Amino acid sequence: MWRRLLEGWNAVVGRFGFVQTLVILALFYTVLIGPVALMAWLARRDLLDKRGLGSKTSAWQEADSAAPDLERAKLTT
């Protein structure tokens, strides 16, 4: 009897957990991600630097090819 009651309770709680997850994710998007995206869109910011790219150009950027030395290595840590 207790086992059947526990299985029924777990089924109900599992569904509530699924709904609760959807609500939390929706709130997270609405409160945090949405306003940041809206402000970037209103300010016309190109955060990925895609505006200058044409359909036939590449987004490749050359790496800094300075010779490795101790002072440079200290800056990375």
Q: Tell whether 57 is covered by a domain.
A: no
- Ranges under pLDDT 70 in the chain: 55-56, 77
Q: Tell whether 4 is covered by a domain.
A: no
Q: Tell whether 6 is covered by a domain.
A: no
CA–CA gap between residue 75 and residue 64 (Å, rounded): 14
Number of domains in the chain: 1
In this prediction, residue 77 carries a pLDDT of 63
Give me the phi and psi of 58, to 5 degrees please. Answer: -105, 155
Q: Tell whether 42 is covered by a domain.
A: yes
CA–CA gap between residue 16 and residue 26 (Å, rounded): 15
Answer whether 35's CB lies under 8 Å from 29's CB.
no
What digits encode the pLDDT tens for the residues 33-50? 989 889 988 988 777 777
Structural domain of 28: 20-46
User: What is the pTM assigned to this prediction?
Assistant: 0.45
Angle at CA of residue 45, ends 39 and 47, nearest 5°: 105
Q: Tell whether 7 is covered by a domain.
A: no
Amino acid at 8: G
